A and B are shown apart, each in its own frame.
Chain A
Amino acid sequence: MKKFWGFVVKEFYHIFRDKRTMLVLFGMPLIMMLLFGFVITNEIKDAKIAVLDLSYDPTTRNITNKIASSGYFQIQEVLTSDKDIESIFKKGFVKEVIVFEGKFEEKLYKTGKANIQLITDASDANQAKLIAEYTSGIIRAYNNELNSAYTMPYKIETESRMFYNPETKGVYMFVPGIMAMILMLVSALMTSISIVREKEMGTMEVLLVSPLRPIQIILGKVMPYVFLSFINAVFIIILSLTVFNLPVQGSILLLLAECLLFIVLALSLGILISASTDNQQVAMLLSMVALMLPTMLLSGFIYPVENMPVILQVLCQMMPPKWFIEIVKGIMLKGVGLDMLWFETLILLGMTILLLSISARKFKKRLE
């Protein structure tokens, strides 16, 4: 046991003495959080829109005023013909055109139903989606207001050209994704590199000849990163609590436990990568391509899984981050407990055990 701790202490020396390692470990999570939080913002503020009011009656003017005073939008132009719609989009600064159908008020009060069309500039698909969503939100609010004043239900129908995905509602969506990404990167990338470095430097040769057992070497390498990754997870949660005011709805303890599980999973992936190469560059590339890309693209972090082709959806099911992100979302945003998340947790646990046993088997006791 003393041998093992000696090994762990040595590993900490390596980490604390290498400035780049420290930067990746602690600088990157902070930068990523702030980047995603502030720069890549999903909020809409003063988005420029145009209005094509074919009816121009009190109701449509009311709605237009509501939208204009919401703070989210700024009415840039008032159109007179639907022929203008395309030309104004081509100019590029208007993001949305709101079209009221002719005889809007008349239709609303006679038939109880009137239509508004929202046309968005979908060259920036995510923003377009949000703008349409915000607009219909305002219109819906107006509709409710209207209905409370009258006993008869009137219905203003908004027809949006964009598909609305309810999961994109929270602007805090990125926190679970970032968490998965950082934990994956720190755990898998750093361990695989640090094991491969020993091979490259020739120190592995001496370690193998020593009485240390392979499992002690692996655990000794992995231990510090479990610890540091865990600190990172806590750090991310604190950041999202304080800087972004995103409360954790569910149990923090459960969240931390799930983080730990995911860290161990990522670490076993790292060991697996290190077992398959003797070269730091290859290890880095493998970690990046095999871990980062799926974490970002196939996990529902950036692109919703539901919108993918079936083959990719199947692939997503095999990606550990996908399950982890679901768990974190569940705990942080929805506040559900293990009774709802046992299935996802079980899958992560199964993956961990599988990966650990494969990587322990693949670790060589000799040089060949």
Chain B
Amino acid sequence: MDAIVAEKITKQFKETVALKEVSFQVRAHELFGFIGPDGAGKTTLFRLIASLMLPNSGSLKVLGLDPVTEFKALRKKLGYMPGRFSLYQDLTVEENLDFYATIFGTTIEENYDLIKDIYSHIEPFKTRPAGKLSGGMKQKLALSCALIHKPELLILDEPTTGVDAVSRKEFWQMLKNLQKQGITVVVSTPYMDEAALCDRVALIQKGSLLSVDTPENIINSFKTELYGLRSVDMYNLLIQLKAYAFCENAHLFGQYIHASFKGELNRNDLLNYLKTKGIEDVEITGIKPGIEDCFMQLMVSNETLETV
């Protein structure tokens, strides 16, 4: 049975359309990621799944239950961690965990096994008020609280935003472990590099899903050759590349400009063109595309579709 089945769900706030006919399935025991920039509609989608908001149209089944009518039954099986840190800052680590255990009708001891890996990191600070924890520890505590009632489905809204690189890595390892214990994990993130850690990802942009697939398949579906270009004056290079007649797409990624071209790339033609623009020190290498490149490409084609 699929953990989540969404069919053409639309959510509208007055003028703005937050989600446009979004359809996808999350399989049971899957680690599923929603990848997209801020304002893409991730939080709204998660709130719909968590029965905190109602869709305007479309059908949604979470764990076989309808979040609109069967929200009471659903809320017992669901672990939800909102994007904002939402624990009680004036309560200590232990009191927070104890409180969430109590309102979900369980105790810390009962489900300690499940949270042991995560909670052991913060247990030395259990008498500290939650508001005084570091960003990474806050997220670990929030995750422990969301897990304490042993949910079948765990929904995490941007759990790694604002968390340092080491804690982020640890956090993903924890999610993998939870998945092994049979919990379906749905997570959203604005970081493209985290996509590769999911079983399947959905790329989301402006309320629409661009693609739903495994990270490998998404990368493999990248249609054209990708090149990395470098020069001393990167900014000028980017402008000139975008003006180049055969350039399909050009974006700055760290030290390189990732560019794809229409048809086969004629290196000499490109170098000559750049020379006329006063750029002579260009270095061109073929590179393997990443998720981010795929996202950019899908985004551009989605936008051109929209304008057509």
Interface residues of A (CB under 8 A from B): 2-3, 6-7, 10, 13-14, 17-18, 201-203, 205-212, 365-368
The CA-CA distance from A359 to B52 in the complex, in Å, is: 20
Known contacts: A366-B51, A366-B54. The answer to whether A209 contacts B80 by CB under 8 A is yes
Known contacts: A13-B91, A211-B104. The answer to whether A6 contacts B52 by CB under 8 A is no
Known contacts: A10-B91, A367-B53. The answer to whether A211 contacts B103 by CB under 8 A is yes
The CA-CA distance from A52 to B197 in the complex, in Å, is: 100
> Quick check: is B105 within 8 A (CB to CB) of the other chain?
yes
The CA-CA distance from A229 to B98 in the complex, in Å, is: 27
Which among A2, A203, A208 is the interface contact of B88 at CB below 8 angstroms? Answer: A203
Q: A14-B90, A206-B80, A209-B78 are in contact. List 9 more A-B contacts (CB 8 A).
A: A7-B102, A10-B91, A13-B90, A13-B95, A206-B86, A207-B103, A210-B75, A366-B54, A367-B53
Chain B residues with CB under 8 Å of A206's CB are 80, 82, 86-87, 100, 145
> Quick check: is B99 within 8 A (CB to CB) of the other chain?
yes
Chain A proximity of B70: nearest CB distance (Å): 13
The CA-CA distance from A208 to B53 in the complex, in Å, is: 11
Chain A proximity of B294: nearest CB distance (Å): 32
Chain A residue nearest to B86 (CB atoms) is A202
The CA-CA distance from A6 to B97 in the complex, in Å, is: 12
Which among B54, B78, B84, B102 is the interface contact of A6 at CB below 8 angstroms? Answer: B102
Pick 16 A–B contacts, CB within 8 A, sort by A.
A2-B105, A3-B102, A6-B102, A6-B103, A13-B91, A13-B95, A14-B90, A17-B90, A201-B88, A203-B86, A205-B82, A206-B100, A208-B52, A366-B53, A367-B47, A367-B53
Contact between chains at A3 and B105 (CB < 8 Å): yes
> Quick check: is B125 within 8 A (CB to CB) of the other chain?
no
Q: Which of B53, B75, B76, B95 has the most CB of A within 10 A?
A: B75
The CA-CA distance from A205 to B75 in the complex, in Å, is: 12
Q: Which of A17, A205, A368 has the most CB of B within 10 A?
A: A205
In the A-B complex, the 7 residue pairs with the smallest Cβ-Cβ separation, listed nearest first, are A6-B102, A202-B86, A202-B84, A367-B52, A209-B80, A17-B90, A203-B86
Chain B residues with CB under 8 Å of A367's CB are 47, 52-53
Contact between chains at B88 and A211 (CB < 8 Å): no
Known contacts: A205-B82, A366-B51, A366-B53. The answer to whether A212 contacts B90 by CB under 8 A is no
Counted as pairs of residues, one from A and one from B, with CB atoms less than 8 Å apart, the total is 76
Chain B residues with CB under 8 Å of A13's CB are 88, 90-91, 95
> Quick check: is B288 within 8 A (CB to CB) of the other chain?
no
Chain A residues with CB under 8 Å of B50's CB are 209
Known contacts: A3-B103, A207-B103, A211-B105. The answer to whether A14 contacts B52 by CB under 8 A is no
Chain B residue nearest to A6 (CB atoms) is B102
Chain B residue nearest to A205 (CB atoms) is B82
Chain A residue nearest to B78 (CB atoms) is A209
The CA-CA distance from A209 to B50 in the complex, in Å, is: 7
Chain B residues with CB under 8 Å of A3's CB are 102-105
Which among A2, A201, A211 is the interface contact of B89 at CB below 8 angstroms? Answer: A201
The CA-CA distance from A206 to B145 in the complex, in Å, is: 10
Q: Identify whether the interface residues of A are mostly helix, strand, loop, or mixed.
A: helix
Chain A residue nearest to B90 (CB atoms) is A17
Interface residues of B (CB under 8 A from A): 47, 50-54, 71-72, 75-76, 78, 80, 82, 84-91, 95, 98-100, 102-105, 145
The CA-CA distance from A368 to B48 in the complex, in Å, is: 11
Contact between chains at A202 and B82 (CB < 8 Å): yes
Chain B proximity of A216: nearest CB distance (Å): 9
Chain A proximity of B44: nearest CB distance (Å): 10
The CA-CA distance from A21 to B149 in the complex, in Å, is: 32
Chain A proximity of B96: nearest CB distance (Å): 9
Chain A residues with CB under 8 Å of B102's CB are 2-3, 6-7
The CA-CA distance from A206 to B100 in the complex, in Å, is: 9
Contact between chains at A209 and B75 (CB < 8 Å): yes
Chain B residues with CB under 8 Å of A205's CB are 47, 52, 80, 82, 86
Chain B residues with CB under 8 Å of A18's CB are 90
Contact between chains at A10 and B88 (CB < 8 Å): yes
Contact between chains at A10 and B99 (CB < 8 Å): yes
Chain B residue nearest to A366 (CB atoms) is B52
Chain A residue nearest to B95 (CB atoms) is A13
Chain A proximity of B184: nearest CB distance (Å): 16
Known contacts: A3-B102, A6-B103. The answer to whether A209 contacts B87 by CB under 8 A is no
Known contacts: A18-B90, A203-B88. The answer to whether A211 contacts B76 by CB under 8 A is yes
Known contacts: A10-B91, A13-B90, A366-B53. The answer to whether A211 contacts B85 by CB under 8 A is no
Which among A7, A17, A211, A368 is the interface contact of B72 at CB below 8 angstroms? Answer: A211
The CA-CA distance from A211 to B47 in the complex, in Å, is: 16
Q: Which of B72, B85, B100, B102 has the most CB of A within 10 A?
A: B102
Contact between chains at A209 and B105 (CB < 8 Å): no
Contact between chains at A7 and B53 (CB < 8 Å): no
Q: Which of A17, A206, A211, A365 has the most CB of B within 10 A?
A: A206
Chain B residues with CB under 8 Å of A201's CB are 86, 88-89
The CA-CA distance from A18 to B91 in the complex, in Å, is: 11
The CA-CA distance from A263 to B85 in the complex, in Å, is: 34
Chain A residues with CB under 8 Å of B95's CB are 10, 13
Which among A7, A10, A211 is the interface contact of B75 at CB below 8 angstroms? Answer: A211
The CA-CA distance from A17 to B132 in the complex, in Å, is: 15
Chain B residues with CB under 8 Å of A212's CB are 103
Chain B residue nearest to A365 (CB atoms) is B71
Chain B proximity of A191: nearest CB distance (Å): 17
Q: Which of A2, A3, A10 has the most CB of B within 10 A?
A: A10
Chain A proximity of B75: nearest CB distance (Å): 5
Chain A residue nearest to B129 (CB atoms) is A17
Chain B residues with CB under 8 Å of A209's CB are 50-52, 75, 78, 80
Chain A residue nearest to B107 (CB atoms) is A2
Chain A residues with CB under 8 Å of B90's CB are 13-14, 17-18
Chain A residues with CB under 8 Å of B51's CB are 209, 366
Q: Which of A201, A207, A210, A368 has the most CB of B within 10 A?
A: A210
Chain A residue nearest to B54 (CB atoms) is A366
Chain B residue nearest to A207 (CB atoms) is B103
The CA-CA distance from A201 to B130 in the complex, in Å, is: 13
Chain B residues with CB under 8 Å of A211's CB are 72, 75-76, 103-105
